[in-house]
Structure 1
Amino acid sequence: MAGTDVGIDLGTASILVYIKGKGVVLKEPSVVAFDRDTNKIKAIGEEARLMLGRTPGNIVAVRPLRQGVISDFTVTEKMLEHFIRKAVGKKTFRKPKIAVCVPSGVTEVEKKAVEDATYQAGAREVFIIEEPIAAAIGAGIDISRPCGNMIVDIGGGTTDIAVISLGGTVVSTSIKIAGDDFDEAIVRFMRKKHNLLIGERTAEDIKIKVGSCYPRSEVDSIDVRGRNLVTGLPKTVTVTSEETEEALKETTSQIVEAVHSVLERTPPELTADIAERGIVLTGGGALLRGLEELLESKTGINTMTAEDPMKCVAIGTGKFVEFLSGHKDEEP
């Protein structure tokens, strides 16, 4: 019986598992809750995410990956093992071939850590793929052609920007500004403007429901509850999408600048391709309203978001394994 081919998007915010022939079978937040006293893991994934910021002293909910890099090896390994088992099931006799995605700027040491964790979690073979390439494959771009494509992959911890041609990266950059930083910017803004202290989960809700980074025709608003920093008591404030635009201004402009710097370093022939084909946005951060318009107004290049941007990297990682297996099968 052939082993299963698995693609894993090991994200700072969520983990997606793709299985050959089945598509994305699992999408869960990369959060682990464990008991400090016994060092036992209490919950993994969505269940643990609900505990963020709401745990008693002995239980901590942590995100073992920070800015796309493993910050807690043992916890990451346990989390991977849990998700692989959950996705693949116990029926397989052979260990799966697993491709894992890493941000384009990681060091060899960081790559090795991901590889080791994946082997420990039960892989027979591990392939490490750079995020922008996986994102491009997942977005349905034929990366093998001699034609420039620009991908902006905004995840939870890192934003990867790359110009891809002939199956490889020509120019790329990875900045540690992404979805998590949007949340932090909202937390800071609420504290500064409304004297209101909110947690990261509430900030994420604001971002998802009314977050915007470009002026919109209609203004949305949401009621936010938190702690009044002056009185120390609970307080409710109404936040509008215009305010989030102000809150996210600095963070989003850093992404625009990074896109700009990659374009500056791109060879002219490929720049011409990009001007014609446009910029493709992938990753959960691409769902922020107004990003397309913002990039378009600042670069003058048509920008579109891939369909189902959150799943692009996972699909691309899985397809990459198939692509590799396909090539190996053809060899005599």
Structure 2
Amino acid sequence: MRKTANVSHPACAHRPAARRQVCLATRGVVLARDLAIDLGTANTLVYERGRGIVFNEPSVIALNERSGDVLSVGRDAWQMIGRTPSYIIAARPLRNGAITDFDITQRMIRLILQGVGVGRFGRTRVAVCVPSLITPVERRAVIEAARRAGASDVRLIEQPIAAAIGTGLPIHEPTGSLVIDIGGGTAEIAMVSLGGLVSLRAVRVGSFDFDSALMNYARRAHGIAIGERTAEELKISIGSAWPIDDKFDAEVKGRDLTTGLPRTFVITPTEVRSALVDTVDLMVEAVLECLSEAPPELAQDLIHTGALMVGGGSLLRGLDQRIASEARVPVLRSESPLETVVLGAGRALENFESLHASHTIPGR
């Protein structure tokens, strides 16, 4: 853990070491902490320098609308989705990579930081991973939310850069590295070389759009309403983006739209794949556009090195094969697709003061 300079007040110089430490603490000289936050639409992860990942839970907060009290954050709040009375909401304050409710996001960040031991009077430097397509207004909102939550210095690092660092790609060499980051609300494809973004394509679609597509398909094709959690479980169990050897169907429970009564239906992997195809097409198109904008010298490097997929959406079976077939380059999935971005930001903490201006937005 990094320590502040060993400077004491003159009046404390004659005191024993133990008493001098107390004096330092009372005068506000405290140990500083460096944190990296991957504030994702689906999950929020926190990395502390020297300790590793200290928080990894869903980006959900449960609130009592009558009293305004926060009931829970993270996994406990996620389990409440679709199961609460009308005056209790279990909400995701981030949608499609953007903050949809500043106040709730700020409260969630504050509770998360408090949960990992950040107090109001500590010195905590924070690097926050953000989608590359967020607007300047959204960037300021993220910085302000982290500051109000207790951070003393806030910097933003774009997710494709953090993902490239986290996977150990040679981003500072004159070699093309393609990162395909598919999160809960956004898909970002970036060609990285010499420490910067050479070409970038980002679309506001992600793994949550897979869930929405399945919910819409169940209503349209089977006349049954299913919830967000049921759609996610269906996606994980038999979802795919490429024909796979899967002969098992899924039994799904929902509410009949005609009678309003509970009902069960069976859905096949082929049906699920057809329901997801439009969203997958948007992601593949973004990859092809990013490649078409990259210099030929860098694009041809991918024939040997391939592209690297990260993010929770990359876990959809067959998505790597679909992209490889369309882009005609090898596509590999990161060993830790869910943690890659925050691990990369954690490595960037080692050089917090010298983070490149093109990668970060310094705090005020």
Q: Please give the TM-score of this superposition, normalised by the length of structure 2.
A: 0.86
* Bigger Rg, structure 1 or 2: 2
Q: Could you tell me which residue of structure 2 aligns to residue 166 of structure 1?
A: 194
Is the 1:213–1:289 contact (alpha carbons within 8 Å) kept by the matching residues of 2? Answer: yes
1:43 corresponds, among 65, 72, 76, to 72
Unaligned 5+ segments in structure 2 are: 4-30, 357-364
Q: Could you tell me which residue of structure 2 aligns to residue 4 of structure 1?
A: 33
Structure 1 residue 89: deviation in Å? 5.6
Find the aligned partners of 2:255 and 2:225 in 1 and give their Cα distance.
Answer: 5
Q: Could you tell me which residue of structure 2 aligns to residue 298 of structure 1?
A: 326
Residue deviations 1:238-257, cap 9 Å, x none? 22322211111111011000
Residue deviations 1:132-163, cap 9 Å, x none? 00111112213211111111100001111100
- The answer to whether structure 1 residue 265 and structure 2 residue 265 are counterparts is no
Structure 1 residue 261: deviation in Å? 0.7
Q: Could you tell me which residue of structure 1 aligns to residue 351 of structure 2?
A: 323
Q: Could you tell me which residue of structure 2 aligns to residue 65 of structure 1?
A: 94
Is the 1:171–1:265 contact (alpha carbons within 8 Å) kept by the matching residues of 2? Answer: yes
Structure 1 residue 62: deviation in Å? 1.2
Within 5 Å, which residues of 2 pair with 1:100-115? 100-115=128-143
Find the aligned partners of 1:321 and 1:127 in 2 and give their Cα distance.
Answer: 10
Structure 1 residue 311: deviation in Å? 0.5
Q: Could you tell me which residue of structure 1 aligns to residue 165 of structure 2?
A: 137
Q: Could you tell me which residue of structure 2 aligns to residue 232 of structure 1?
A: 260
Give SS of 2:168's match. coil
- Alpha-carbon RMSD across the aligned residues, in angstroms, is 1.7
- The answer to whether structure 1 residue 79 and structure 2 residue 74 are counterparts is no
- The answer to whether structure 1 residue 183 and structure 2 residue 211 are counterparts is yes
Q: Could you tell me which residue of structure 2 aligns to residue 149 of structure 1?
A: 177
2:317 corresponds, among 289, 296, 318, to 289
Structure 1 residue 289: deviation in Å? 0.3
Residue deviations 1:80-122, cap 9 Å, x none? 11111212466x9732111001111111111110011011111
Q: Could you tell me which residue of structure 2 aligns to residue 18 of structure 1?
A: 47
Find the aligned partners of 2:80 and 2:217 in 1 and give their Cα distance.
Answer: 24
Is the 1:66–1:157 contact (alpha carbons within 8 Å) kept by the matching residues of 2? Answer: yes
Greater Cα offset, 19-28 or 297-306: 19-28
Structure 1 residue 327: deviation in Å? 7.8
Within 5 Å, which residues of 2 pair with 1:93-132? 94-132=122-160
Is the 2:178–2:191 contact (alpha carbons within 8 Å) kept by the matching residues of 1? Answer: yes
Quote the sequence identity (%): 42
Is the 2:348–2:355 contact (alpha carbons within 8 Å) kept by the matching residues of 1? Answer: no
Give SS of 1:236's match. strand
Is the 1:104–1:173 contact (alpha carbons within 8 Å) kept by the matching residues of 2? Answer: no
Give SS of 2:272's match. helix
Residue deviations 1:24-61, cap 9 Å, x none? 12111111111111111111111111111111111111
Greater Cα offset, 245-254 or 219-228: 219-228
Structure 1 residue 188: deviation in Å? 0.9
Give SS of 1:232's match. coil
Structure 1 residues 327 and 169: alpha-carbon distance in aligned structure 2, compared to 1, 3 A threshold: closer
Q: Which amino acid aligns with 2:51?
A: K
Q: Which amino acid aligns with 1:65?
A: L
Find the aligned partners of 1:305 and 1:237 in 2 and give their Cα distance.
Answer: 33
Greater Cα offset, 303-312 or 15-24: 15-24
Find the aligned partners of 1:84 and 1:236 in 2 and give their Cα distance.
Answer: 42
Structure 1 residue 222: deviation in Å? 2.3
Q: Could you tell me which residue of structure 2 aligns to residue 31 of structure 1?
A: 60
Structure 1 residue 220: deviation in Å? 3.1
Structure 1 residues 103 and 40: alpha-carbon distance in aligned structure 2, compared to 1, 3 A threshold: same
Structure 1 residue 230: deviation in Å? 2.5
Is the 1:31–1:45 contact (alpha carbons within 8 Å) kept by the matching residues of 2? Answer: yes
Is the 1:35–1:60 contact (alpha carbons within 8 Å) kept by the matching residues of 2? Answer: yes
Find the aligned partners of 2:355 and 2:307 in 1 and give their Cα distance.
Answer: 29
Find the aligned partners of 1:327 and 1:195 in 2 and give their Cα distance.
Answer: 53
Q: Which amino acid aligns with 1:210?
A: I
Is the 1:148–1:274 contact (alpha carbons within 8 Å) kept by the matching residues of 2? Answer: yes
Unaligned 5+ segments in structure 1 are: none
2:247 corresponds, among 204, 215, 219, to 219
Is the 2:126–2:151 contact (alpha carbons within 8 Å) kept by the matching residues of 1? Answer: yes
Give SS of 1:96's match. strand
Greater RCO (Cα-Cα under 8 Å, separation 6 or more): 1
Find the aligned partners of 2:230 and 2:150 in 1 and give their Cα distance.
Answer: 36
Is the 1:171–1:266 contact (alpha carbons within 8 Å) kept by the matching residues of 2? Answer: yes
